[in-house]
Amino acid sequence: MPASRFLLPKFSACRRLLPPIFLSIFVLQLPALAQTSNKIQKLIKPGLLKKRAAVDSLVARNDVYEIVLENTLGNGVGLFTIRTGKSHPINNNFDGQRQNLLGGGSSGELGTSYLTVRCYSCSTDYVQSDFIENEPGFKTVWLDEVLAQTNQLNAVQPIRNQAGDTTGYEVIYDLPGKPLTRGQMRLTQRLQVHGNTFNNSLVEVTAKVKNTGSEMLAVGIRYLLDLNVGGDDGAKVIESALRNSLGKTETEFKKLNFGYFRAEANDSLRNLPPPEYQVYGSVITPRNLLQVGHQPTFLQQVSWPLAFLRPFTYQIHPTLTITEDARGTDPANRTGGDNAILYFWGETAGNAFKLAPGDSVQVTQGFFATPPGVLPSFYDRTPPTCTFTFRGISTVTGFFSDVEDGIAAIQPLLLYNAKLMVDPFTPGDKKVNFRLESLDQDSYIGFDIKVADLSGNTHVCDPVMSYLSTDRDNRRYTFKFRRIDRYLTLTNRGLSEIRVDLNGHRFGFYANSHTGARLRNAYRLPAEGSITIDLQPYLRDEENIMQLEIAGRPGANADLTLIDEAHQIDHTLALAPIPQSFALSQNLPNPFSRNGGATTIRFDVPELANGAGRVELKIYNMLGQLVRTLVDADLPPGAYTATWNGRDANGRSAANGVYFYNLTANGIRLTKKMALLR
């Protein structure tokens, strides 16, 4: 077959083939790559350049995305690009055409991306594009040649929906085995648009290898995916889990823990502020998105011109810049860099897929594009959560969970008095257990742990926790924490009192009833159970200091947890706001009966310049005689209650009638009257 029939489509379109003067500079910068650059030089000879007509391609679509597929033998059957459809929010390219997203350049060349299947057991790389170098120990075979030699003229089959519309294609390569091919297998590439609206549409790219022979096969799969976003060939790439950039130089990821990469333009050919739009490609594909096979084992961000010529393995150059802002004013070269993504499944013989006769392996990824800040509804927007509790005196146990995409990454940001242990997990697991061990049992535990799901939603689990116990010699505890940790939860097991001083403001939790002056926000403490209170009114922007003193029977204990405002807290008690002035409320009930119990008097003490002030609350009869002193103490600011049971200072029943009660503090005197009945 004439060699001229098999010409490299990538360069034939003249999309962005590096000009000779640039190649000369490139070679000077990277002498070690001279052999590769010589190969590129050969590709730009005039005889190897060919402009393909649009009629060479097939198109599958819904209204949101289109797949453009090469179907001409000799041009690279199965090469494709993805572009937006007429109802997609992004439907115009800078040159007035529909926006290409993946697999081709700004003009939609199909040869810029391709699939490779490496057969380790037969030392062969099967590729979709021509002019690819042989690697040591492997022969490179262009799949178009296999189709021609075996007369497979109908390798491309349409995929249609129930309405009869073509939504995708399957490209099938049957390798018959010796003597024509070294391995006997069927390779299937499936490209399909799913959905019918922007909110549920994406493009599936699947590769499947089936052993159709009688001998064991060991295979690996690689996809080279060319990136071009808004005309920017050197698009910025960001991983979803912890939202880190892949950087401006060649990079590789041997441990994948993110669900998507996001590519966006560094600059724009339309002089609009970037990013105009973003292209998402799945890495660890969430199973609620696509029915996937094996996840990739390896990922690289690479220089497209260099990686294109390598059929499978690629050695990155960590100092080679491949994504950058535009330089110069030439419209043909106004974007900087030229990068691509390499996906690998079974990148070495050691982790290759082992296929017995009849066995198959499938890999699937999904791709979609969005305007900035807009995501389709299938994209997970719910952040992961964390749950934790004390186990004994010095151990905290818990778990991270994400019910949609699953957990991708766990990153300790801060550990105070704690050693963290996380159970082994695979990205995508819905639940991951963890444990913290206290380094000093007499101090509290604090931790900030960032957890991300595959879609990039994050949550910081950052409580302050302590185990309160009457068995300890010191029953006083001190905590320092940030304003964000506004919710205090106490899980009580037998404590009778927990008295709190927060930044000089006092309140308490009591399992038993009390008489006399007490803080109005003194809360009933369940003898066995939990209470949660919002500390917001008493918190400062800077560091907050909380001191606790506990009381109770021997062996009584409680768990204390301070958690932040990001948590959804139900049934939260609110602290009373700090009073702005002295106030005395009408007693309730009024009138009240000595036989029916007592009456309650509420009063407020504001914050004073000198701190706590002397406060007196006294009861007088109609003759002005003192009957009972309810409060005589230095009180810090707060809302208080006092009760009177209708008896005088000696415990005798007071006579029926009208009484006055006076609040005196800081030179202020407030008076109200009440009635006592039989």
Measured between alpha carbons, how far is 163 from 63 in angstroms, rounded to an integer? 14
| 323 located within any domain | no
Q: CB under 8 Å to 221, separation ≥6 — which residues?
A: 115, 116, 117, 118, 207, 209, 343, 344, 345, 346, 353, 361, 363
Q: In this predicted structure, what is the pLDDT of residue 360?
A: 96
Same domain, 447 and 365: no
Measured between alpha carbons, how far is 573 from 557 in angstroms, rounded to an integer? 21
Given a cut of 50, whether residue 584 has pLDDT beyond it is yes
Measured between alpha carbons, how far is 232 from 268 in angstroms, rounded to an integer? 7
pLDDT tens digits, 474-511: 788 999 888 888 888 888 999 998 989 999 888 888 87
Look at residues 574, 596, 624 and tell me which one is the last residue of a structural domain: 574
Q: In this predicted structure, what is the pLDDT of residue 663?
A: 94
Q: Output the CA–CA distances (angstroms, integers) from residue 56 to 268, 421, 591, in the order listed.
A: 30, 58, 97
Say if residues 417 and 444 touch (Cβ distance below 8 Å): yes
Helix/strand/coil for 612: coil
Given a cut of 90, whether residue 523 has pLDDT beyond it is no
Given a cut of 90, whether residue 542 has pLDDT beyond it is no
Same domain, 110 and 205: yes
Q: What is the mean pLDDT of residues 267-291?
A: 70
Pairing of strands 613-620, 626-635: antiparallel
| 263 located within any domain | no
Q: What is the mean pLDDT of residues 623-628?
A: 93
DSSP state of 48: G
Look at residues 446, 462, 478 and tell me which one is the last residue of a structural domain: 462
Same domain, 189 and 59: yes
Rg of the Cα trace of the chain? Answer: 37
Same domain, 471 and 568: yes
Q: To which residue do tokens 């109005």 refer?
A: 520
AA identity, residue 539: L
Look at residues 551, 574, 597 and tell me which one is the last residue of a structural domain: 574
| 328 located within any domain | no
Mean pLDDT of the chain: 81
Pairing of strands 217-226, 202-211: unpaired
AA identity, residue 186: R
pLDDT tens digits, 118-160: 999 999 999 998 878 899 999 999 999 999 999 998 899 999 9
DSSP state of 227: B
State both tokens at 89. Answer: 């929010």
Say if residues 456 and 240 touch (Cβ distance below 8 Å): yes
For CA atoms 623, 628, 629, 630, the dihedral sign is negative
Residue 546 is part of a domain; what is its CATH number? 2.60.120
Partnered with residue 603 across adjacent β-strands are: 584, 640
Helix/strand/coil for 23: helix
Measured between alpha carbons, how far is 677 from 611 in angstroms, rounded to an integer? 39
Angle at CA of residue 256, ends 255 and 260, nearest 5°: 165
What residue numbers bound the domain in which 569 lies? 466-574
Q: What are the φ/ψ torsions at residue 436 (nearest 5 degrees)?
A: -125, 135
Q: What are the φ/ψ torsions at residue 104 (nearest 5 degrees)?
A: -160, 170
Q: What are the φ/ψ torsions at residue 226 (nearest 5 degrees)?
A: -75, 135
Distance of CA 521 to the CA centre of its chain: 39
Q: In this predicted structure, what is the pLDDT of residue 627?
A: 94
Best-predicted range by mean pLDDT (100-109, 302-311, 367-376) = 302-311
Q: In this predicted structure, what is the pLDDT of residue 105?
A: 56
State both tokens at 479. Answer: 């905590």
Given a cut of 90, whether residue 528 has pLDDT beyond it is no
The count of structural domains within the chain is 4
Pairing of strands 592-593, 668-677: parallel
Q: Of 490, 523, 491, give the one whose Cα is nearest residue 506.
A: 523
Q: CB under 8 Å to 117, separation ≥6 — which residues?
A: 125, 126, 185, 187, 207, 209, 219, 220, 221, 222
Give me the percent of the chain exceeding a pLDDT of 70: 80
Same domain, 527 and 617: no
Q: Of 150, 195, 145, give the one whose Cα is nearest residue 366.
A: 195
Measured between alpha carbons, how far is 285 from 477 in angstroms, rounded to an integer? 48
Given a cut of 60, whether residue 394 has pLDDT beyond it is yes
Same domain, 419 and 530: no
Same domain, 129 and 204: yes
| 661 located within any domain | yes
Helix/strand/coil for 37: helix
Residue 434 is part of a domain; what is its CATH number? 2.60.40
| 319 located within any domain | no
Measured between alpha carbons, how far is 265 from 273 in angstroms, rounded to an integer? 10
Q: What are the φ/ψ torsions at residue 450 (nearest 5 degrees)?
A: -90, 130
Same domain, 390 and 300: no
State both tokens at 141. Answer: 């075979």
CB atoms within 10 A of CB 220: 25
pLDDT bucket at 444, cuts 50 / 70 / 90: confident
Given a cut of 90, whether residue 358 has pLDDT beyond it is yes
Same domain, 21 and 99: yes
Measured between alpha carbons, how far is 312 from 453 in angstroms, rounded to an integer? 30
Q: Is 41 exposed, middle or buried (0-12, 13-18, 19+ CB in 10 A)?
A: middle
Residue 601 is part of a domain; what is its CATH number? 2.60.40.1930
Mean pLDDT lowest among 105-114, 562-571, 579-588 = 562-571
Given a cut of 70, whether residue 597 has pLDDT beyond it is yes
State both tokens at 619. Answer: 């009861």
Given a cut of 80, whether residue 347 has pLDDT beyond it is yes
Same domain, 85 and 142: yes
Q: To which residue do tokens 């399992």 refer?
A: 511
| 246 located within any domain | no
| 379 located within any domain | no
Measured between alpha carbons, how far is 224 from 576 in angstroms, rounded to an integer? 62
Helix/strand/coil for 306: helix
Same domain, 31 and 150: yes
Q: To which residue do tokens 């560091």 refer?
A: 543
Q: In this predicted structure, what is the pLDDT of residue 323?
A: 85
pTM, full prediction = 0.68
State both tokens at 468. Answer: 């309160």
Same domain, 85 and 146: yes
The kind and range of the H/E element at 135 are none
| 495 located within any domain | yes
